[in-house]
Amino acid sequence: MSAQQIRVAWIQGGAAKCEILPPLPSRVFRLVLLGAPGVGKGTQAELLCERLGTCHLSTGDIFRAAKGLAEGERSPALEAALSYMKRGNLVPDQTVLDLVHERTSCLRCRSGFLLDGFPRTVAQAEAFAKIMAQEQIPLDAVLNYDLPIEKVVARLSGRRTCPKCKAVFHVTGRPPRVEGICDHCGTKLQQREDDRPEAVRVRMEVYEKSTKPLADFYRQRGLLVTIEAEGTPEEIYQRTLTALGSAGGGRQRHPSRTNAD
């Protein structure tokens, strides 16, 4: 049973439904995920969803899958988002909100959710709060993974990518067997332009500027849980569980709850 099969309703939107229902966990979490590039939040999302049974709702997955969908499978908001992307423009707040609104059934998923990539602005967060209130769905916590900028620079600037098979390595954390050569296809590894130290610093400055108001928004509402993103993935995962427990996150499974996907 693949994540793609489970998340049909999220990927396609509209009237699409998940034919294969996710397992019903003993404790349901409804979470939002924040974290700058390079802090390892993608790894934590995988661990949290795999071990807690939470459904991973990534807006990035919607955009990546959209290009492979036939026109009849695309919702109106998805068509609008694709038109912006084809022109090289950012997808505006309202279109992203429309995409999420088309998928409110996913917010009622019986396994809970881990929302990744949304909201990105205070305006989106305010609109999302209204959706959650209308649907009478409580948000348990907003997980904010934090790492000093120098360590983010070291992580990303050491990353090397295979241009052919897209495999990713790291010069110290996950080096290839032969320096500079992909283990899988033998192609020479490359450093992406946006992984160079100077580019990483610019990305971090942009992220901090755009995300600080969002973090403040959730902090004021008592939902922000900041987690130190230093250490092994397992250490960070255990730190996350401890933080969720301290924040009172997660709700006992309701015996009459059904999956709305």
User: Which active-site residues does the annotation give?
Assistant: 41, 120, 159, 192, 203
- Write the CB contacts of 135 (distance below 8 Å, at least 6 apart in sequence): 104, 107, 108
Contact 239, 227 (CB under 8 A): yes
Distance of CA 62 to the CA centre of its chain: 11
Q: How far is CA 39 from CA 97, 108, 121, 125, in A?
A: 26, 29, 19, 22
- How do the pLDDT tens digits run along the chain, 261 residues long? 344 446 888 887 777 788 777 777 878 999 999 999 889 898 999 999 999 989 999 988 888 887 777 777 777 888 888 888 888 888 898 999 999 988 999 999 889 999 999 999 999 999 999 999 999 999 999 999 999 999 999 889 999 999 999 899 999 888 999 999 999 999 999 999 989 999 999 989 888 888 889 999 999 999 999 999 999 999 999 999 999 987 766 665 543 333 444
Collapsing DSSP states into helix, strand and coil, what is residue 25? coil
Predicted pLDDT of residue 251? 67
**What is the pTM (predicted TM-score) of this model?**
0.83
CA distance 229 to 248: 21
Domain residue extents for the chain: 3-147+210-244, 148-195
Predicted pLDDT of residue 91? 87
Q: Which CATH architecture has domain 3-147+210-244?
A: 3-Layer(aba) Sandwich (3.40)
Predicted pLDDT of residue 63? 83
Burial code (b: 16+ CB inside 10 Å, e: under 16) for 53-84 equals bbbbbbbebbbebbeebeeeebbebbebbbee
Predicted pLDDT of residue 17? 83
